[in-house]
Amino acid sequence: MEKINWKIATFYELNNDELFDVFALRTAIFVVEQDCPYQEVDETDKIAFHVLGIINKELVAVARIVPPSQPNNEVKIGRIAVKKAFRRQKIAGKMMEECFRFIEQHWKKLPVAISAQQYLIEFYTNYNFKVEGEGYLEDGIPHMRMVRG
CATH of the domain at 61: 3.40.630.30
Q: Which residues span the domain enclosing 55?
A: 5-148
Domain count, the chain: 1
Q: Give the contacts of 43 (CB within 8 A, at least 6 positions apart).
A: none
* pTM score above 0.75: yes
- Each residue of 2-52: pLDDT tens digit? 899 999 999 999 999 999 999 999 999 999 988 888 888 999 999 999 999
* pLDDT mean across residues, the chain: 94
Please tell me the predicted confidence (pLDDT) of residue 36.
Answer: 82
**What is the distance between the alpha carbons of residues 20 and 17, in angstroms, rounded to a whole number?**
5
3-state secondary structure of 87: coil
